[in-house]
């Protein structure tokens, strides 16, 4: 007898226009505005960071320089339940890319940097990456000297970016679900007597700034997350729906 353990509903709202404006705002009909002045308030909380900037990269406009890409982050939020079940609202058509360099020009990386022409460094149209027709919000961080290779500095960059994204998440929580452009429903189903399948995913946890965060409060978020290093790099079990819902956050 099958057991339906968890039900996850992801409702997507497609972004059709992103521009600079007087407030950070997103609407259910797909209009987003970005106000960079909010970065001054965020910067005050993170002494490891020297400055921050946000560049709106329109679709197909990838012939431009980028600092090392630390993560590609979807803009998603929990509306009901916790990660892995309930209802999640997410945006399609717009994604955040966190990039970083320190004041001396040293790229934020450990084993290899990815600075250069964006069109040559970003593999588009793949699971987890923007498509040709998507907007990209490049959240670029300049860290203080040496902080780009220190766990403290890189974590500060992720937290600052997450705080910016949270502004939009709070608005998305209030979107009417029936206005979504896509709706997907997933179930974690147990089938007693059948084969039990476990997929093993190896994540980064090698010290310094090479880390992975799990179990954050928001999909692909950092707040409330736990470092795989702090957990002793021990095996952790996550459900299929938790994985779908963004319970793992890359911290490279």
CA gap 97, 69 in Å, rounded: 7
Which pLDDT value is given to residue 71?
92
| Residues ≥6 apart with Cβ < 8 Å to 97 | 66, 69, 71, 72, 73, 122, 130, 136, 137, 138, 139
Which pLDDT value is given to residue 207?
64
Q: What is the DSSP string of 158-225?
A: HHHHHHHHHHHHHHHTTS-GGG-SEEEEEEEEE-TTSPP----------BTTB-EEES-SSTT--TT-
DSSP code for 149: G
Measured over the CA atoms of residue 190, residue 9, residue 130 and residue 73, the dihedral's sign is: negative
Which pLDDT value is given to residue 48?
97
Which pLDDT value is given to residue 202?
84
Q: Where are the alpha helices (DSSP H) in the chain?
A: 38-43, 118-121, 151-172, 240-244
Which strands form 25-26's sheet, in the order they lie side by side?
17-20, 31-34, 25-26
Give the pTM: 0.94
Q: Is residue 217 part of a domain?
A: no
Q: Is residue 125 part of a domain?
A: yes
Q: Is residue 233 part of a domain?
A: no
Q: Is residue 151 part of a domain?
A: yes
Q: Is residue 245 part of a domain?
A: no
Q: Is residue 5 part of a domain?
A: no
Residues of the chain below pLDDT 70: 207-209, 252
Q: Is residue 249 part of a domain?
A: no
Measured over the CA atoms of residue 47, residue 51, residue 56 and residue 61, the dihedral's sign is: negative
The domain in which residue 70 lies consists of 12-185
Q: Is residue 88 part of a domain?
A: yes
Q: Which of these, 175, 238, 251, lies nearest to 8 by C-alpha position?
A: 238
Number of domains in the chain: 1
């Amino acid at each position: 007898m099958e057991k339906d353990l968890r039900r996850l509903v992801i409702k997507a709202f497609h972004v059709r226009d992103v521009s600079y404006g007087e407030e950070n705002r997103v609407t259910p009909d797909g209009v987003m505005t970005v106000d960079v002045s909010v970065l001054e308030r965020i910067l005050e909380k993170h002494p490891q960071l020297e400055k921050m900037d946000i560049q709106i990269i329109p679709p197909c406009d990838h012939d431009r320089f980028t600092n090392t890409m630390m993560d590609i982050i979807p803009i998603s939020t929990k509306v009901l339940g916790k990660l892995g079940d309930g209802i999640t609202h997410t945006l399609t058509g717009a994604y955040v890319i966190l990039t970083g360099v320190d004041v001396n020009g040293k790229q934020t990386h450990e084993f290899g940097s990815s600075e250069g022409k964006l069109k040559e460094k970003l593999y588009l149209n793949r699971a987890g990456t923007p498509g040709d027709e998507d907007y990209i919000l490049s959240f670029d961080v300049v860290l203080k000297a040496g902080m780009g290779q220190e766990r403290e500095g890189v974590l500060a960059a992720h937290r600052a970016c997450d705080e910016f994204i949270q502004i939009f998440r709070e608005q998305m929580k209030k979107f009417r679900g029936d206005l979504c452009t896509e709706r997907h429903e997933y179930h974690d189903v147990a089938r007693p007597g059948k084969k039990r399948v476990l997929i093993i995913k190896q994540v980064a946890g090698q010290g310094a700034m090479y880390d992975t965060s799990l179990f954050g409060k928001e999909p692909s978020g950092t707040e409330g997350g736990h470092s795989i290093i702090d957990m002793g790099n021990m095996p952790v079990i996550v459900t299929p729906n938790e994985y779908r819902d963004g319970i793992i956050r890359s911290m490279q």
